[in-house]
Amino acid sequence: MNEARSIISKLEIMCFECATQEYEDYKNGNYLRESTKKHFDKLKKSNISDIVGRYADDLYNDKNFLMDVIGDEVYGKNNSLEILKDLVKINPFPAMKSAVNNLIAEGI
């Protein structure tokens, strides 16, 4: 369970750091994807006061983002299945369940 908690902590930090960097890039006109620009435009138009926090939440609820980060953390570990199941026990929200189920189906 400790490894799962550690991964969740890393996810939370990574979401905030990615959101912060992507928003800075957006403000400077250096966004990586058009979809990211559109997402930030939409958030700004919605008058959300904490755009970075909201985008970090969006990343935390993005199944593909979760799969990428979690997959990197558990790949090759003997207890990866146990860690994945623990992640869902700790955070049973839909994106986590979906990401974990996909990783299990992929054989990680």
Domain that holds residue 6: 2-105
pTM assigned to the model: 0.86
Tokens of 94: 């839909």
Q: What is the pLDDT along the chain (108 residues), one digit of tens a residue?
A: 999 999 999 999 999 999 999 999 999 998 778 888 999 999 999 988 999 999 999 999 999 999 999 999 999 999 999 999 999 999 889 999 999 999 999 987
- Dist. CA 28–CA 25, nearest whole Å: 5
Amino acid at residue number 87: L
Q: What is the Rg, in whole angstroms, of the alpha carbon atoms belonging to the chain?
A: 15
Task: Count how many domains the chain has.
Answer: 1
